């Protein structure tokens, strides 16, 4: 991290109200700021969240993840972890506590969601990573992380179009995607 990056972190800590409208992540040493998500994005996250049984799982939004061996502190759109897997305190949940991470693709996040975060989450040994792409009207479920560092990846990739169910065996649920809305354009 550079001195400029460290100063930005200090500014965020000193004036959180200025930055509260932005999503701010550290990805492989780079600070990434994004404007808040649009309504389609939020409704997809809400739909997924509502389908996760809360008697066993904690589906959390705006939660930063600590990735061992990585200069990264991503903030997925949704973190799902088993109740009691990590009980804090602090803003960073260890990647080992995560069962599933969800990212909904936006116009500016496609490369990070499909490439950078795929590798970062695999390096953190997160068992499952779900990419929901409202531009391509598809869900990509990645499982079985392998490797380390920038060479880390997922061995299994399953793509499902919107409208078809997505089995999330790791959670014991099948995700209904029939209500997922799409966005015009092709950012990928």
What's the CATH class of domain 37-175?
A: alpha beta
Question: What CA–CA distances, in Å, run from 150 to 28, 68, 79, 120, 121?
Answer: 9, 13, 22, 7, 10
Which of helix, strand or coil describes residue 20?
coil
Mean pLDDT by 10 residues, the chain (188 residues): 52 59 64 73 95 95 90 91 90 95 91 93 97 97 96 97 97 97 76
Please tell me the pTM assigned to this model: 0.84
Q: Cα(105)–Cα(52) distance, rounded to whole angstroms?
A: 20
> What is the pLDDT at residue 186?
58
Residue 62's pLDDT is what? 82
* pLDDT number for residue 9: 57
Q: Which of 35, 101, 33, 105 is nearest to 67 (CA)?
A: 101
**Cα Dmax for the chain:** 47
Domain boundaries, the chain: 37-175
DSSP-based helix, strand, coil % in the chain, nearest 5: 25, 35, 40
Q: What pLDDT is attached to residue 89?
A: 84
pLDDT at residue 88, rounded to an integer: 81
What was the pLDDT predicted at 72? 79
């Amino acid at each position: 991290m550079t001195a400029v990056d460290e100063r930005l972190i200090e500014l965020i800590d000193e004036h959180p109200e200025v930055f509260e409208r932005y999503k701010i992540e550290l990805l492989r040493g780079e600070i990434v700021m994004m404007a808040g998500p649009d309504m389609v994005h939020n409704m997809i996250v809400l739909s997924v969240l509502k389908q996760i049984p809360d008697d066993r799982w904690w589906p959390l939004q705006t939660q930063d993840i600590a990735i061992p061996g990585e200069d990264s502190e991503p903030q997925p759109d949704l973190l799902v972890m088993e109740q009691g897997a990590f009980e804090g305190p602090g803003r960073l949940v260890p990647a080992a506590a995560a069962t599933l991470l969800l990212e909904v693709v936006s116009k500016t996040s496609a490369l990070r969601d499909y490439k950078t975060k795929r590798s970062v989450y695999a390096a953190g040994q997160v068992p499952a990573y779900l990419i929901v792409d409202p531009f391509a009207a598809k869900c990509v479920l990645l499982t079985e992380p392998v490797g380390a560092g920038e060479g880390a990846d997922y061995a299994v990739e399953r793509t499902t179009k919107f409208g078809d169910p997505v089995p999330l065996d790791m959670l014991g649920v099948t995700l209904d995607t029939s209500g997922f809305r799409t966005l015009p354009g092709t950012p990928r």
